[in-house]
Structure 1
């Protein structure tokens, strides 16, 4: 069997998720009405149950993989075995360093591309990550699924994947499908590397992606409440930021320099 015969379907799976969200949201954006004075449409402020369908399905499918003898149990072990053979001794730690890239970009990019002020993005981002962390940690220490490398029993769902997909969905919500597509591509890479490095099962990353998307969507649905409570309008000044990543190949250190101007 070709060593890439298993990797290709996995990449295709996550790219399909990214493209599906990008195309769906691009179509939705084209039909949006004019925005009001605070940058949100009336449809944006209303919670729609349909927004739960895709992330809810991903979480449900991922949960099925935890069940011994379930429909995904054999599949996730087959994926792990093939990735172990493909990986050998090589491990790429980029997933540890890039999981926060979408969140940093979401918070600091601002400018004419942003729909909301810096403080509004800060509150939405904080809300999204609090929701995500609550769901992930509750599931990790309740379900206690063993990791593929047998190191600990907190595999389900993938926290790295949930983190990066939260940022990706925040990027799509705030800056549109173009920027969202780039963020989802990065999120897909992180999710794949979590499996490739033997840290998570296939169902872990599928559920983690669903948790991340759900958390960002719930946070944005709460923004109108914050705007009314704190009397925010769209006249507040924003910030600009420069984000400069750097990597030292000699000692394999990775750093991010962020300069923010208010």
Structure 2
């Protein structure tokens, strides 16, 4: 639990470290994700959009590429909690106890952070990264904070014991953060090489498997954690695209007369 709390607090450090980059996020008038010129480079961005990145603010794309897959993973986790489902969490625990009864490693506490070494390494040796380092760190920090805001309350509400008897099993925090980092790497570097995405998701998957083999989590915890991590990053990038690409996020201020004759201002937000 202490290790997880340390990782949880790390997201806050990641978020607030590049505070100067927050001020750089400024909406760009008129243009939308579909009409931005191919050579457009927005504030905080290192290179022009790829075709996929130009559609980042699309609601339908967000639904198909992020919401549905994440909901499927979380749903699978809920349906396999403890003894539920065709292949339940109890079934996978029995397989673990039968074939890997003495498995024990602490690698799952650290391996999920491995892609971050690649993140900052790529920034040093490559000019093809999607965003500048400050913007990358901001997006990663926001994704981690959003994931934490989901995971920790749900752990308390569900109050499910782990296979080893310890509390707060569902969902898996390690797996959530592992898939948060993997999805972030996919967003930032897929255009550079799909193998970066494959390796990052492979590490995230290995983290989840080790949590089960370590008897620290049920299969359901891992499935739900993966879904939370994926949707957290995609939500941050989707909102970021609407804010920075312009047009997709529309704000209106309208003067209004309040009861009693006081003057006021109405604010509307639409996308």
Q: What's the TM-score bracket when you normalise by the shorter of the two chains? A: 0.5 to 0.7
Q: Measured at CA, do residues 35 and 211 of structure 1 come closer, stay the same or move farther in structure 2, by a change above 3 Å?
A: farther
Please give the TM-score of this superposition, normalised by the length of structure 2: 0.66
Q: What does the per-residue CA deviation read over 1:151-175, in whole Å, with 9 as the maximum and x for residues that have no partner?
A: 22x0000100011111111111110
Residue 37, structure 1, aligned to residue 49, structure 2: no
Aligned to 1:206: 223
Could you tell me which residue of structure 2 aligns to residue 46 of structure 1?
Answer: 58
1:134 CA drift (Å): 0.8
Deviation at 1:45, TM superposition (A): 2.7
Name which of 74, 77, 83 aligns with 1:59: 74
How far has the Cα of 1:61 moved from its partner?
1.3
The Cα of 1:65 is off from its aligned counterpart by 2.4
Give secondary structure in 2 for the equivalent of 1:44: coil
- Corresponding residue for 1:222? 239
1:105 is aligned to 118
Is 1:117 matched with 2:129? no
Do the aligned residues in 2 keep the contact of 1:102 with 1:164 (CA within 8 Å)?
no
Select 2:208's aligned residue among 191, 204, 212.
Answer: 191
Asked whether the equivalents of residues 115 and 182 of structure 2 are also in contact (C-alpha less than 8 Å), the reply is yes
Distance 1:102 1:192, change over 3 A: same
* 1:1-262 to 2 correspondences below 5 Å: 34=38, 36-38=40-42, 39-40=48-49, 41-47=53-59, 48-51=62-65, 52-66=67-81, 70-71=84-85, 75-107=88-120, 109-110=122-123, 111-152=126-167, 154-176=168-190, 177-224=194-241, 227=244
| 1:136/1:35 CA distance change after superposition, 3 Å | farther
| CA positional deviation for 1:226 | 5.8
> Are the counterparts in 2 of residues 107 and 125 from structure 1 also a CA contact under 8 Å?
no
Task: Please state how far the C-alpha of 1:122 moved relative to its aligned partner.
Answer: 1.0
Runs of at least 5 residues in structure 1 that lack an aligned partner in the other structure: 1-32, 230-262
The total of aligned residue pairs comes to 194
Distance 1:69 1:86, change over 3 A: closer
Bigger radius of gyration among the two:
2
Give CA-to-partner distance per residue, 1:173-220, whole Å, 9 cap, x none: 110022110101111111100000000111110111111111111111
Query: How far does residue 86 in structure 1 lie from its aligned partner after superposition?
Result: 2.1
Equivalence for 1:7: none
Deviation at 1:78, TM superposition (A): 1.4
- Counterparts of 2:103 and 2:64, CA distance in 1: 41
Please report the RMSD computed on the Cα atoms of aligned residues, expressed in angstroms: 2.2
Tell me: CA distance 1:127–1:208, structure 2 relative to 1, closer, same or farther (3 Å).
same
Q: Structure 2: give runs of 5+ residues left out of the alignment.
A: 1-36, 43-47, 247-271
Deviation string, structure 1 residues 86-109 (Cα, Å, up to 9, x no partner): 223330111011122224433553
1:64–1:50 distance in 2 versus 1, CA, 3 Å? same
- Give the structure-1-normalised TM-score: 0.68
